[in-house]
Amino acid sequence: MAVPLFDTTTPIAPLRPLIDARVAEVLDAAIYILGPQVDAFEREFADYLGVRHVVSVANGTDAITIALQALGVGPGDEVVVPSFTFYASAEAIPPTGAAPVFCDVDPDTCNVTAETVAAALTPRTRAVIAVDLFGNPAPIPALRALGVPVLEDAAQAAGSTLDGRRAGALGDLASFSFFPSKNLGCFGDGGAIATDDDALAETARVLRFHGSRDKVSYERIGWNSRLDELQAAILRVLLPHLDTWSEGRRAGARHYADAGLGELVRLPTAAAGAEPAWHLHVVHHDEADRLAAALTAAGVGARGYYRTPLHRQAALAPWSAGVELPVTDELARTHLALPINPLLAREQADEVVAAVRAALAA
């Protein structure tokens, strides 16, 4: 049986009639930008997260840049960011005028720690980006204790919790992506900023709309970064199912463990106090590339996401000269994402584990 890395179609199939109806409502209303669907989604997502404000934007990358600017990050500042993450986590920093400073991560959770961040702090540090990598929440309370504002990059962690609080409600602000493959994904690009801080939220709203409150007066150099009404309408249909889908992702991880995957590779480790809604089920093995090739040939989706970590990417070389992050380099070399989705069945997990076993025995 073929087992795809992602399945974004099957979970939403029962919701198609309601999605189609909501899309028709938007078309009939002929309001496409910052209308009632966006307003309603922002309120509903804020209520879900347990925060005062959600400010939707065009994508997850813009969410990071605008959130940093709302914090006052600008030229001459530094922002600490992990190197073992998606490119956007660091790419979003230079547009503010600030410099990314790369830090190492924990070998088990793959996330930053208070120790790895503290080692990268300088008098110029204005903010820390803590990525909830693969859906595993970062130790944000410990990071905030360092005394520097923390932006939680929760793009991969919608539906996860840490000590009973939802990912996206842990930092001074949080950024989300609604890219279609995410735990909560729309039918195109989309993103959001979440915060309890009234002033930060208001600044983010101004920045997302050309630096203006009224289309007449422009007080900042801002962005044209808004979530479409169509995408907001779709997200409103999907949001009530996020917790069920998150539990399905956790069940998929348990299926792998019960099927014996941990006898063959190193399984992902949940952070202390965390209930991750695994966006990716990332395992580790010394021969990750050979394993990926064999699984792909067997019809099982598998890939390494961050083989070249950010501090070794050419575009980020101006900020990474002489940087050595041994844990990041090792995780980049050995990690491998295996299939996960809200409906992953035990039979599919058995199939994947059998293919891993056969590949390693070959």
pLDDT of residue 203: 98
pLDDT of residue 236: 98
pLDDT of residue 338: 98
Q: Do 271 and 139 meet the contact criterion of CB atoms below 8 Å apart?
A: yes
pLDDT of residue 1: 77
Angle between helix 198-208 and helix 60-70 axes, rounded to 10 deg: 120
Question: Which one-letter DSSP state was computed for residue 33?
Answer: B
Calpha distance 55→329 (Å, rounded): 35
Alpha carbon of residue 218 to chain centroid: 31
Going residue by residue through the chain (362 aa), what tens digit of pLDDT does each one get? 799 999 999 999 999 999 999 999 999 999 999 999 999 999 999 999 999 999 999 999 999 999 999 999 999 999 999 999 999 999 999 999 999 999 999 999 999 999 999 999 999 999 999 999 999 999 999 999 999 999 999 999 999 999 999 999 999 999 999 999 999 999 999 999 999 999 999 999 999 999 999 999 999 999 999 999 999 999 999 999 999 999 999 999 999 999 999 999 999 999 999 999 999 999 999 999 999 999 999 999 999 999 999 999 999 999 999 999 999 999 999 999 999 999 999 999 999 999 999 999 98
Calpha distance 194→171 (Å, rounded): 9
Number of helices and strands in the chain (H, E): 12, 12
- List alpha helices for the chain, DSSP H: 16-29, 36-49, 60-70, 88-91, 114-118, 140-144, 198-208, 229-238, 242-258, 288-297, 326-334, 346-361
Alpha carbon of residue 14 to chain centroid: 25
Delineate the domains of the chain, giving CATH numbers in brackets.
10-240 (3.40.640.10), 242-361 (3.90.1150.10)
Q: Which residue, chain included where needed, has tokens 């992506």? A: 177
